[in-house]
Structures are given as C-alpha cells and as structure tokens.
Amino acid sequence: MKNSLTIAGKELAGYFLQPVAYVVMTVFLLLGGFFFFALLRYFEVTLTAYAAMQNPEVLQKLNLNERVIEPMLHNLAIVLVILVPAITMRSFAEEKRTGTYELLLTAPIRTGEIVAGKFIAAAAFMLIMIGLAGMFPLILLAFGNPEIGVMFAGYLGLAFLAISFVSIGLFTSSLTQNQIIAAISCFGLLLLLFVISWPAQAGGSSFSDLLRYLSLPDHFAQMVTGIIDTRDIVYFLSLIFVALFLTQRSVESARWR
C-alpha cells in the first residue's frame, strides 16, 4: 500500500510538471464555462419569452437543472471522451520509452502496486478537474434555486464516468510503447461504450437488454437526472475493476512472457 501511494504521489506531481495536464484542465474548464454560459443564456431567453406570453404552466415546468446543468454535464462527458486519452496515454507508454519501466519492474514492488499508484494519481487528477468544474453549480446556487441533490448526483455521475474512462486509458497505455496508439485505442473503446446500445432495437430481446445495460450514457443519464441507483454504481465500479484488472494482467505479463 505504501508503495502505491509513493508511486501515486510521484505520478500526480508529474502531471503538473508537464504541459499536457494544464492544457487538458484548461480546455475542460473553458468548454464547461462556455456550455454553462450558452445554456444559461438560452434559459434566460426562454424564461422571458414564456413570461411575456403569460404562460404560467410552462414557466413552472422550466427547470434550471434540466435546462442548464444536465445538458452541460452531458456535453462535458463527451469532452472527456477526447481529453482522457490525452491524459492517460503516457502513463505506461512513457515509462517504456524512457526506460523507467525497467526501474519499476526490478524494484521490490508488486505490479498491483504500480497499477494502483497510477490509478490513484489519474483518478485524483480527474477529481480535481471535476471539483473545479463545480464552480458552475455554485454560481447557480448564488443566484438561483437549483436542486442541490440533483446537481450532486450529476457530478457524482461525472466523477464515476471520468474515473472509469481513466481506468480504460491506463489499460490501453499498458499495452503499447506508442502513446498515439494508446490514445487512439482508448478513444475507440470509450466511443464504443457510448454507442454500444444503438443496435438494441434490431436484436432479440435479451441480447438488446444486454446491450442496453452496457451502454454507458444510459447509466450516466440516470445519475444526471437525480437518481442514485445501485445498479449504475455497480456498473461503473465493474468497468473500473475490469480495466484495472486487465491492466495488471498486462503489466504482469512482462514477467512471464
């Protein structure tokens, strides 16, 4: 455990010594801010339009969460599909390139500790980034009356999503020396998880149920609408565990191949 934390500490510090991390964070928060601003403006326009039309029914139904926070979170999820591979691509691939992989594998530490350390660092980075994006709900709270529970569930969903993305990124990075390959395969896998339920209408019913269950945006959407369901949590945790398990297997394989 101690070794995992040592590695995690070094990795996390390492993130901030490189420009990539800063670029990623900036892009994420900039886009988040843009979405927030655009959605909020549109909301305001809609609000005034319905107020002018003297339509109290619809006015009541207009919800800050539904119209601003939810779409923003969905958009940020898509942004993460592109940003996460950029962050994780170097985690193992870089080590192989600089020769420090040899250092880690010949040190008296378990491969599980290496994987855990890198995971903790990457997850922590994601949490920092998402935490910073929490400024948007705070702004809303200061000026409006959004539902706190729903926003909390939404951000929790985004955190789970980001951490599962990061695990998959670690996995693809462990498979290759080439960072570009690591990034592109991570991107491919993440995209696959987003579209996997598209053929669900065509198939027989239990197969399409399976596809629908595997669909990541479905689980994410549930949390964004304010429901914390154990099913969704189990799904995300499973994704994380499978990716980390496979990563550990992949790193371990150097020992016996």
Partner 1 sequence: MIEVKNLTKAYGNFVAIKDVSFKAESGSILGFLGPNGAGKTTTMRIITGYMPATAGTVLIDGLDIFSQSLEARRKIGYLPENPPLYPDMRVEAYLRFVAKLRDVPRAKIESALEHVLDVCGLTDMSHRICGQLSKGYRQRVGLAQALIHDPPVLVLDEPTIGLDPRQIHEIRGLIHNLSGNRTVVLSTHILPEVSQICDKVVIIADGRVVLEEYLKQLPAGTSLEDIFLTAITKEHHEDGATAEEKLEEVGAGHT
Partner 2 sequence: MRRSAALYGILGLVLLSFGLVDYFISAGFRLFVWVNLAGGLFSIVLWITSSRSELSSITTGRSARYGANAAVYSIAFIGLLVAINYISSLHHTRLDLTTEKVYSLSSQSINVVKGLQKPLKLYGFFQGGENPSARELYETFAYYSPKLTYELVDPDKHPELAERFKVSTMGTTHLQYGGADSGEGTNVTDLTEESLTNAIIRATRSTKKVISFLDGHGEADPDDAEGTDGYGTIRKDLEGEGYEVRKLELARALAAEPRLLIADEVMAGLAENEIDEVLKTLFTLNDQGVTVVMIEHIMHAIMRFSRRLICMETGRIIADGAPQDVRRNPEVRRVYFGK
Stretch that binds partner 1, among 13-21, 79-87, 185-193, 222-230 (CB under 8 A): 13-21
- Whether 247 and 174 have beta carbons less than 8 Å apart is answered as yes
∠ at Cα 11 (89, 6), nearest 5°?
140
Among 245, 247, 251, 254, binds partner 2 (CB under 8 A): 245
Q: Which does 134 bind (CB under 5 to 8 A by kind): partner 1, partner 2, none?
A: none
- Whether 247 and 170 have beta carbons less than 8 Å apart is answered as yes
Mutual angle of helices 148-175 and 230-256, in 10-degree steps = 20
∠ at Cα 36 (30, 41), nearest 5°?
130
72 to 111: interface string for partner 1, x by CB under 8 A: --------------------------xxxxxxxxxxxxx-
Our finding on whether 235 is near partner 2 (CB under 8 A) is yes
How many residues sit close enough to partner 1 to count as binding (CB under 8 A)? Answer: 25
Residues 31 and 151: their CA atoms lie apart, in Å, by: 18
- Whether 157 and 220 have beta carbons less than 8 Å apart is answered as yes
- Neighbouring CB atoms inside 10 A of 75's CB total 17
Residues 79 and 229: their CA atoms lie apart, in Å, by: 24
- Neighbouring CB atoms inside 10 A of 235's CB total 21
Our finding on whether 226 is near partner 2 (CB under 8 A) is yes
Q: Compute the least distance from the CB of residue 102 to partner 1, in Å.
A: 5
Residues 179 and 200: their CA atoms lie apart, in Å, by: 33
Q: Compute the least distance from the CB of residue 17 to partner 1, in Å.
A: 4
Among 19, 99, 106, 257, binds partner 2 (CB under 8 A): 257
108 to 147: interface string for partner 2, x by CB under 8 A: ---------------------------------------x
What is the footprint of partner 2 within residues 149-208 (CB under 8 A)?
A: 149-150, 152-153, 199, 201-205, 207
Residues 159 and 246: their CA atoms lie apart, in Å, by: 21
Q: Which does 207 bind (CB under 5 to 8 A by kind): partner 2, partner 1, none?
A: partner 2
Residues 39 and 60: their CA atoms lie apart, in Å, by: 18
- Residues contributing to the site for partner 2 (CB under 8 A): 147, 149-150, 152-153, 199, 201-205, 207, 213, 225-231, 234-235, 238, 241-242, 245-246, 249, 252-253, 255-257
- Residues contributing to the site for partner 1 (CB under 8 A): 2-3, 6-7, 10, 14, 17-18, 98-110, 254-257
